[in-house]
Amino acid sequence: MLGDIATLVLQGTMISAVYALIAIGFTMIFGVGGTLNLAHGALIMSGAYVFGVLAQSTHPVVAFLLTIGVVALFSWGLYQILVRWVEENVVITFLSTVIVAVAVTKVILIQFGGSPLGMTLVSGAVNLEPYGINARPRNVQFLGFVISWVAIGLLWYYITKTDDGRSILAASMSERGAQLTGVDLQSVRSKTWLIAGALAGVAGIILGSTSGATPNMWLNPLALAFMIVVIGGIGSIKGSVVAAYVIGFLEQFTVTFVGHGFRGILSLVVLVIFLLFMPQGLYGREFAHD
């Protein structure tokens, strides 16, 4: 029992950091442009596959950096080529991004087939059994935790301490107000997509290194991102981090104590409760003006 709880805390802490990373990109795009990017999961998946391919021929660190750049460019390209032209219509935007996501799945099936693509950032595992914890967390999980927090910290610094980043924050609070103070909305939106892409790339690398890449791996992160964003409050980075921990621990709790098949159910129940009674989320703002 005590061992179970220790496992829960350990695994929950590590997985939640990655969940936060997944959700932040999604919420930034929604906060700034009002766009639901249902291709976010597909960007994460492309991060895993790009890294998987690059890591076969180059050093993992080089592959890591290259992948982030490539996925950021994918994301930016998606905005410039598609979303920019349809973003005034919410329904068309999320229909087209979900179609992009299934199309990417097909590209991956054609290119890599249906079987999982294995990859790793670092190998090895830690045996915690001598300490009474019934788990063998792998080094890549620890590294993923560290990388996620570094990425979140960098983003937080950029958003709150630099002028460039603060224009993003301003645009997410009030588009009209931001425009009045001389913020170029178009470039802010492009920047948001670039950053969200980079974060998705990082998340993809970590997810791919922990459990391999499969053509349907975009579904879960997307559902997670959405649940976390709703619980944390749309547009709030702090809310995403807190809610990521809520969801991460809930999932780990159900897996440890209830059963694997029930993994999503508890989270879904919490999600519905939030939607009905607290739709603004933990740290959400009222959408007063556009």
Partner 1 sequence: MISTILLLGTVLSTVTGRIGNIAGTVRRQVLLPIGRVLDRLFAPLDRVLDPGARAYNRFLGPYFGEMTGLQFGVIAVSFVALLSAGVWAPIVGPLLGGGLLRTLALASIWAIFAMSWDIQSGYTGYISFGHSALSGAAGYATALLIVHVDPTLSIWVTGSVSVLAALAVGLLIALPTLQLEGPYFSLITFVAVLLFYRLTTSFSSLGGVPGFGQPDVFTWDPVMRYYYMVIPMLLIALGLTFMARSDLGMILIAIRENEAAVSAAGINPTKFKLWSFMLSSVPMGIGGVLLVGFTGNVDPSTFVMVDNSIEMIAIAVIGGMSSILGPLGGAFLFEILNHQILHGYSTPVRYLFLWLIVLLVLVFARDGLFRAIWHRLGAVRGDSE
Which of 262, 238, 241 is CA-nearest to residue 250? Answer: 262
What's the closest the beta carbon of residue 130 comes to partner 1, in angstroms? Answer: 33
Which of 212, 288, 180, 256 is CA-nearest to residue 4? Answer: 256
* Residue number with CB closer to partner 1 (80 or 134): 80
For residues 234 and 68, what is the distance between their CA atoms, to the nearest angstrom?
25
Site string for partner 1, 112-131 (x = CB under 8 A): --------------------
The neighbouring-strand residues paired with 226 are: none
Which of 273, 245, 281 is CA-nearest to residue 27? Answer: 281
* Residue number with CB closer to partner 1 (175 or 251): 251
* DSSP label of 257: I
Q: Does 100 bind partner 1 (CB under 8 A)?
A: yes
Residue of 20, 33, 271, 281 that binds partner 1 (CB under 8 A) = 271
Q: Does 91 bind partner 1 (CB under 8 A)?
A: yes
SS (H, E, C) 24-77: HHHHHHHHHHCCCCCCHHHHHHHHHHHHHHHHHHCCHHHHHHHHHHHHHHHHHH
Pick the stretch among 60-68, 135-143, 147-155, 221-229 that binds partner 1 (CB under 8 A). 221-229
Residues 6+ apart with CB under 8 A from 152: 17, 20, 21, 24, 237, 241
Cβ-based neighbour number of residue 149 at 10 Å: 14
For residues 210 and 197, what is the distance between their CA atoms, to the nearest angstrom?
20
Q: Does 219 bind partner 1 (CB under 8 A)?
A: yes
* Residue number with CB closer to partner 1 (130 or 261): 261
Site string for partner 1, 228-257 (x = CB under 8 A): --x---------------------------
Q: Does 66 bind partner 1 (CB under 8 A)?
A: no
For residues 36 and 26, what is the distance between their CA atoms, to the nearest angstrom?
8
What's the closest the beta carbon of residue 260 comes to partner 1, in angstroms? Answer: 7
Q: Does 275 bind partner 1 (CB under 8 A)?
A: yes
Q: Does 1 bind partner 1 (CB under 8 A)?
A: no
Binding interface with partner 1 (CB under 8 A): 36, 38, 69, 73, 76, 80-82, 85-86, 89-92, 94-96, 98-100, 102-103, 105-107, 109-110, 190, 194, 219-220, 222-223, 226-227, 230, 260-261, 263-265, 268, 271-272, 275-276, 279
